Amino acid sequence: MANLYSRFRRPPLSWLLIILAIFSIVSTLIISTTFSKNSNINNKVGGACVEDESIEGGVYRSEKVFRMDYPEMEKRFKIYVYPADEESDHGNYTNYHKISGKYASEGYFFKNIRESVFLTDDPDQAHLFFIPISCHKMHQKVSSYKKMASIVGRYVEGLILKYPYWNRTLGADHFFLTCHEIDVAATEGVPLLAKNSIRVVCSPSYSKGFIPHKDVSLPLIMQPFSKPAGGNDTDNRTILGYWAGICSSDTRKKLVNLWGHDDELDIQNSTSYNAARMKKFYSSKFCICPVGSRLTSNRITMAIHYGCVPVILADYFDLPFNDILDWRKFSVIVKERDVYRLKDILKAKAGADFRMLHSNLVKLNSNNQKITKLTATSQNE
């Protein structure tokens, strides 16, 4: 796949996001039947066909199937992006460029869609249609969610009137990005969009309007990361589990009340990520990622980047690329009701299981670093 890498002139993590996100959309829509009779995206990538249910091995549910299906998708799969109408009141909100800080996921997604090999200028060749409106960019000028929803609604209605593609499926083959609370709040006011089309959502919860098997989960990232990626440093990880944040949910309150003074778990009710606390990501075996009051959080991607095995303490949470990546191979998933047993759960996994989980976590970061080198090489050619 080296020749594929050279075509993607973009930051490494964003490359992985866009490829897996599009692959997830394909799996969700079951449109691979239009590719070829031999395509196996539908019946082999989903969670029901996991070849190896242990935590050993790679990070994919089936790496063989992924590698077999991806080249076919790359050759045939096409996306059409609706052009911006600069003369309308929504035209200034359809070309998003910010790719740093907590909005990096949204910026990279817009950038990568427009530069992707999947992009087509011929809508008749498209399998999917991207609605490129940024509610975050809109919110910089429009403060009212009701007014934002009105702008989005008029934009979608304009697309329906101007183009024939929405009416062919009532928008089922259209997708849009809602990566932050602002986007979710604005698009919820447009039922035609939220209920019919595919939402690409950062860190979604089922309790917030996310519809499994229709919508797609995308991880929320913050770039650039303030520190380098973690590596093969298991001997330096002497803290059993670490979390620092505000008690914005019942689960977080229980986490602090139960384990805030524990001698093996480092649990802090604080939002300050100073230098000393950032070091905890390098010295902890497990990083707790508890559900909060907000729809989105970059805590999981931070844990992965710093080599700290994420402990996802949340119910009704759709993990990014779950049909492709086997999260049990590089994270620990804990029900909220089991916060009382958290220490016992982590201690039971602190030995051989932790070493395997951490090894797989390093593989994820190693893949990103390889792509970094390949991307830099292609940009200098």
User: DSSP labels for 81-124?
Assistant: EPPP-TTSTTGGGS-----SBTTHHHHHHHHHHHH-TTB-S-GG
Is residue 71 a part of any domain in this protein? no
Indicate whether 253 and 207 sit together in one domain: no
Task: Find the CATH number of the domain harbouring 295.
Answer: 3.40.50.2000
Question: Mean pLDDT of all residues in the chain?
Answer: 76
Indicate whether 146 and 89 sit together in one domain: yes
Is residue 312 a part of any domain in this protein? yes
pLDDT of residue 294: 65
| Alpha-carbon gap, residue 14 to 9, rounded angstroms | 10
Indicate whether 124 and 255 sit together in one domain: no
Indicate whether 346 and 258 sit together in one domain: yes
Is the pLDDT score of 331 beyond 90?
A: yes
Percent of the chain with pLDDT over 90: 31
Per mean pLDDT, which range of 167-176, 229-238, 261-270, 331-340 is the poorest?
229-238
Indicate whether 208 and 179 sit together in one domain: yes
8 A C-beta contact, residue 206 and residue 250: no
Contacts of 189 (CB under 8 A, 6+ apart): 145, 146, 148, 149, 150, 152, 153
Is residue 224 a part of any domain in this protein? no
Of 218, 253, 268, at which residue does a domain stop?
A: 218
pLDDT of residue 378: 37
**217 vs 87, higher pLDDT:** 217
pLDDT of residue 34: 36
Is residue 247 a part of any domain in this protein? yes
Is residue 227 a part of any domain in this protein? no
Single pTM value for the model: 0.78
Per mean pLDDT, which range of 21-30, 98-107, 274-283, 314-323 is the poorest?
21-30
pLDDT band at 169 (very low <50, low <70, confident <90, very high): very high
Q: Cα separations (Å) of 20 from 37, 206, 218, 265, 277?
A: 22, 21, 9, 34, 32
Range of the domain at 317: 234-368
Of 185, 218, 251, at which residue does a domain stop?
A: 218
Indicate whether 249 and 281 sit together in one domain: yes
Of 23-27, 87-91, 92-96, 189-193, give the range with the top mean pLDDT: 189-193
Indicate whether 180 and 318 sit together in one domain: no
| Alpha-carbon gap, residue 96 to 91, rounded angstroms | 11
Q: Cα separations (Å) of 341 from 85, 276, 348?
A: 55, 28, 11
Indicate whether 173 and 275 sit together in one domain: no
Indicate whether 8 and 138 sit together in one domain: yes
Is residue 111 a part of any domain in this protein? yes
Residue 232 gets which letter from DSSP?
S
Domains contained in the chain, number:
2
Indicate whether 213 and 344 sit together in one domain: no
Indicate whether 169 and 203 sit together in one domain: yes
Is residue 68 a part of any domain in this protein? no
Is residue 308 a part of any domain in this protein? yes
Is the pLDDT score of 99 beyond 80?
A: no
Indicate whether 190 and 262 sit together in one domain: no
Contacts of 256 (CB under 8 A, 6+ apart): 247, 267, 269
Of 187, 218, 249, at which residue does a domain stop?
A: 218
Q: Please, what is the end-to-end C-alpha distance for the chain in angstroms?
A: 18
